[in-house]
């Protein structure tokens, strides 16, 4: 879905719950012992607590490096019962879905079933057309690295009012939307730029990528992700929900403000029909699975060398970030470069990154979409104080 659903507002959730939200992080070492703020993860523990101090209801995080596994939680998973978050929580991962989709398309390329230089129109005739959009000039590669110029359907004002703001969300959160409907929303606007002439993040690109997977295999994109990634890696907490409205347990509640500026009351937005996100952001996972996925991906377990090289060939987004094929690189302040993706969807903000050698990974989730600084958590984990 959107790269981030949160806004710049960092107000507390409720005064009455301030004590619960300020609860200290719980850290668990490789052997399961509680280690508090000791060891190399002290800065990360502080960053997790800071997110809760900013107003995030709760955080769950898992880091893995040469020393083993370290987990941290802070705040609550349920504002009503004050139940804490769990290291084992499953959560909606939003645009992290894009890396799974890109991985499957690259596997299909490796098998000779398609080429990333194929045009979108060759697989989806006539779908990308209107108001200057032309699928005969856009390649699959341009979908995956966001250089297609195709308008982002979630930026449409009517769509936003209907599915992201309070006035429409509670009436429409259980709507089932076909991916073709999402594409048609984008086609009602002009492109952002000519194909290949710029870079702009567009969820429409990955809705189309999911449709190409279905067209080339004869199976839904979610089934291909299950067959090709989830099952081989034994990702037991990961799923492609389709139209299923709940999040399997163990899980926490998800909270949103449903306003543009992050003001107003907090709403429980846990239940929704994720077809509004489709292959751009509908998946559910947990921190253990996300670390395993990105580690396997970057160490060559899922893609041949040629395809992994394509995936990590990035387009510059800014001075510190590059976007490859469903995979973003970020150079941190201490010179370390991490690879992964972030994701935001109603009530859920997630990030998962790892070093290029797969030896140091971190994945975490905020169960709120209006506050907190995920970048600060990543910086703390890799750069420390």
Q: Which residues are catalytic?
A: 95
Give the chain's length.
Answer: 385
Please, are residues 216 and 14 in contact by the beta-carbon 8 Å criterion? no
DSSP states along 301-370: SSS-HHHHHHHT-PEE-SSSEEE-SS-EEEE-TTS-EEEEEEEEETTEEEEEEEETTSSSEEEEEESBSS
Cβ neighbours of residue 273 closer than 8 Å, sequence gap 6 or more: 173, 174, 175, 176, 177, 243, 245
Cβ proximity of 58 and 349 under 8 Å = no
* Cα torsion 24, 27, 33, 36: sign: negative
């Amino acid at each position: 879905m959107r790269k981030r659903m949160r806004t710049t507002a960092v107000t507390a959730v409720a005064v009455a719950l301030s004590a619960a939200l300020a609860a200290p992080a719980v850290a668990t070492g490789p052997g399961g012992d509680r280690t508090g703020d000791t060891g190399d993860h002290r800065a990360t523990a502080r960053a997790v607590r800071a997110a809760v101090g900013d107003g995030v209801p709760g955080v769950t995080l898992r880091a893995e490096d040469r020393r083993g596994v370290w987990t941290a939680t802070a705040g609550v998973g349920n504002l009503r019962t004050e139940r804490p978050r769990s290291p084992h929580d499953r959560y909606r991962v939003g645009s992290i879905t894009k890396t799974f989709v890109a991985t499957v398309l690259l596997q299909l390329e490796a098998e000779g079933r398609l080429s990333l230089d194929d045009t979108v129109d060759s697989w989806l005739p006539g779908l990308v057309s209107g108001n200057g959009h032309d699928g005969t000039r856009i390649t699959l590669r341009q979908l995956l690295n966001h250089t297609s110029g195709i308008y982002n359907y979630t930026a449409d004002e009517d769509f936003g009012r209907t599915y992201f703001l309070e006035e429409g969300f509670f009436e429409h959160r259980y709507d089932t939307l076909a991916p073709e409907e999402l594409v048609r929303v984008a086609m009602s606007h002009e492109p952002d730029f000519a194909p290949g002439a710029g870079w702009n993040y567009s969820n429409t690109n990955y809705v189309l990528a999911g449709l190409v997977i279905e067209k080339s295999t004869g199976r839904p994109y979610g089934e291909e992700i299950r067959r090709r990634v989830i099952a081989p890696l034994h990702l037991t907490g990961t799923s492609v929900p389709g139209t299923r409205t709940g999040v399997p347990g163990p899980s926490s509640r998800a909270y949103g403000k449903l306003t543009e500026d992050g003001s107003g009351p907090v709403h429980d937005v846990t239940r929704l029909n994720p077809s509004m996100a489709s292959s751009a952001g509908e998946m559910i996972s947990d921190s253990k699975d996300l670390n395993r996925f990105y580690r396997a991906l970057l160490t060559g377990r899922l893609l041949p060398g040629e395809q992994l090289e394509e995936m990590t060939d990035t387009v510059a987004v800014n001075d510190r970030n590059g976007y490859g094929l469903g995979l973003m690189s970020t150079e941190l302040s201490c010179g370390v470069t991490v690879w992964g993706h972030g994701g935001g969807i109603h009530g859920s903000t997630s990030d998962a990154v790892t070093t290029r050698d797969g030896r140091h990974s971190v994945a975490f989730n905020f169960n709120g979409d209006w506050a907190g600084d995920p970048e600060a958590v990543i910086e703390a984990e890799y750069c420390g104080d």
